[in-house]
C-alpha cells in the first residue's frame, strides 16, 4: 500500500497538508503544483488499496481522474472548498467539502483534526485572503498581535510563491516548500528559523511594493482594474496584490490583469464572490481576447 498526498501548492493546500501530516505522519508521495494547476489527479499512479488524500484541488476539475482512481480500487479522501455539483458517492471515497465561499481547506482540516494544529489553519486562512476567518480561528490561541502578524506574513509568503502561472516564475517548487516547513510543528518557528521563508518574505514585499505603485488603468462603476507588466514578479505577486486591494477596500471589486505567453491572467476580488458586472465587455474594449481567471 502506498500513500499519495495531492495538494495545491498555495498556502491553503500546504497548510492543510501540514496539519494532517503532523497529526498522522506517513511516508507519502507528494503530487502538487502551482496555484493554477488544479487538475492534479491525472498525475497519481495509484493501485488497488493505495490511499490518496486530496487537499484544495477542485473536485469539479478532477472528476474524471477521481472516478478512474476509484475504479482502480484506490481509497480517496477529498478535502476542498470549491464548487462541486454533484458530489460523487463511492464506498472508497470520503468527501469533506464546504463550498459556501467563507471557508478554506486549512479550516476544514482544522475541524477534521479537532484543532490540534490550529496555528497552521490560521496561516492557511491568511494566505487565502480570509482575514476574518483567520481571526476567528486564532481567537483562543492566546497569540500576541505581533505573533498574529507573523502568521499572516507566513501565509502571504507561501501564497505568493505558488501564485505564478509558470514553474520558472516560482522562487521554489511547492513540494520543496512543503518539505522545508514540515520540519516545524510551530509556524512561528518557521518565520524565525527557516531561510527559505525569509527569502520568500523579502521577495514578496519587494514585488508588492512595485505593484502598489501602479495606478488603475480604469475605475468603473463596478470595479477598479490594474494592469501589471509581463514579468515574473508580476505573475508571482498578482494574487497577493489583489488580496491587498480587497483588504484596503472590501466593499469594492478589484481586477488585476497580468500578461502571459498565452493571453492574460485575471485575478478578481469581489464582495459578492463573483465576476463584477461588465468585466468581459471591458476586457474586449481594451483588446484582451484570451484570458482566464486565476
pLDDT at 101: 64
Helix H, strand E, coil C: the string for 182-198 is: CCCCCHHHHHHHCHHHH
Determine the length of the chain: 294
Residue 170 has pLDDT above 90, yes or no: no
- What's this model's pTM, rounded to 2 decimal places? 0.87
Average pLDDT over residues 246-258: 93
Whether residue 136 sits in one domain with residue 278: no
| CATH code of the domain covering residue 85 | 3.90.1640
Of 204, 231, 252, the residue at which a domain comes to its end is 204
Q: Indicate the range of 20-29, 114-123, 222-231, 240-249 predicted with least confidence.
A: 240-249
Average pLDDT over residues 4-23: 97
pLDDT band at 85 (very low <50, low <70, confident <90, very high): confident
Average pLDDT over residues 181-195: 95
pLDDT at 225: 97
Whether residue 183 sits in one domain with residue 67: yes
Of 182, 204, 226, the residue at which a domain comes to its end is 204
Supply the range of the domain harboring residue 93: 3-204
Residue 80 has pLDDT above 70, yes or no: yes
Residue 167 has pLDDT above 80, yes or no: no
pLDDT at 149: 96
Nearest Cα neighbor of 59 from 33, 35, 40, 36 is 40
pLDDT band at 58 (very low <50, low <70, confident <90, very high): confident
Total count of domains within the chain: 2
pLDDT digits (tens, 9 = 90+) for 90-109: 999 999 988 666 789 999 99
Whether residue 196 sits in one domain with residue 86: yes
Residue 151 has pLDDT above 70, yes or no: yes
Is there a domain that residue 209 lies in? no
Q: Specify the DSSP class assigned to residue 59.
A: G
pLDDT at 81: 83
Q: What angle do CA 199, 133, 146 make, to 5 degrees?
A: 50
Q: Residue 9: helix, strand or coil by DSSP?
A: coil
Residue 55 has pLDDT above 80, yes or no: yes
Q: Give me 2's grid cell.
A: 502506498
Whether residue 226 sits in one domain with residue 162: no
Q: Residue 86: helix, strand or coil by DSSP?
A: coil
Whether residue 232 sits in one domain with residue 100: no
pLDDT digits (tens, 9 = 90+) for 15-44: 999 999 999 999 999 999 987 788 899 999
* Dihedral of the alpha carbons of 214, 217, 222, 223, in degrees to the nearest 10: -20
Quote the mean pLDDT of the chain.
92
Task: Work out whether the CA dihedral 7, 9, 13, 16 comes out positive or negative.
Answer: positive
Residue 240 has pLDDT above 90, yes or no: no
Is there a domain that residue 116 lies in? yes
Q: Give the range with max mean pLDDT: 59-63, 145-149, 269-273.
A: 145-149
Cβ-contact 9, 162 below 8 angstroms: yes
Of 184, 204, 224, the residue at which a domain comes to its end is 204
Amino acid at each position: 500500500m502506498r500513500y499519495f498526498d495531492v495538494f495545491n501548492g498555495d498556502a491553503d493546500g500546504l497548510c492543510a497538508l501540514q496539519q494532517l501530516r503532523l497529526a498522522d505522519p506517513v511516508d507519502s508521495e507528494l503530487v502538487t503544483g502551482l496555484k493554477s494547476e488544479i487538475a492534479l489527479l491525472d498525475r497519481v499512479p495509484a493501485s488497488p488499496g493505495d490511499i490518496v488524500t486530496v487537499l484544495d484541488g477542485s473536485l469539479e476539475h478532477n472528476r474524471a481522474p477521481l472516478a478512474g482512481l476509484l475504479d482502480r480500487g484506490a481509497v480517496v479522501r477529498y478535502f476542498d472548498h470549491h464548487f462541486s455539483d454533484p458530489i460523487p458517492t463511492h464506498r472508497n471515497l470520503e468527501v469533506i467539502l464546504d463550498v459556501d465561499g467563507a471557508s478554506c481547506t486549512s479550516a476544514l482540516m482544522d475541524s477534521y483534526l479537532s484543532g490540534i494544529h490550529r496555528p497552521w489553519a490560521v496561516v492557511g486562512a491568511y494566505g487565502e485572503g480570509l482575514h476574518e476567518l483567520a481571526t476567528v480561528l486564532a481567537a483562543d490561541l492566546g497569540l500576541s498581535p505581533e505573533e498574529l502578524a507573523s502568521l499572516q506574513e507566513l501565509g502571504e509568503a507561501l501564497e505568493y510563491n505558488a501564485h505564478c502561472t509558470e514553474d520558472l516564475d516560482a522562487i521554489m517548487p511547492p513540494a520543496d516548500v512543503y518539505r522545508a516547513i514540515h520540519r516545524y510543528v510551530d509556524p512561528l518557528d518557521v518565520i524565525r528559523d527557516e531561510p527559505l521563508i525569509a527569502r520568500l518574505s523579502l521577495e514578496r514585499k519587494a514585488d508588492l511594493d512595485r505593484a502598489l505603485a501602479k495606478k488603475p488603468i480604469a475605475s468603473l462603476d463596478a470595479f477598479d482594474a490594474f494592469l501589471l507588466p509581463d514579468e515574473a514578479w508580476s505573475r508571482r505577486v498578482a494574487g497577493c496584490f489583489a488580496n491587498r486591494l480587497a483588504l484596503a477596500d472590501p466593499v469594492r471589486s478589484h481586477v488585476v490583469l497580468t500578461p502571459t505567453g498565452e493571453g492574460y491572467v485575471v485575478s478578481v476580488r469581489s464582495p459578492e464572490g463573483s465576476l463584477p458586472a461588465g468585466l468581459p465587455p471591458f476586457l474586449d474594449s481594451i483588446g484582451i481576447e484570451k484570458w482566464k481567471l486565476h
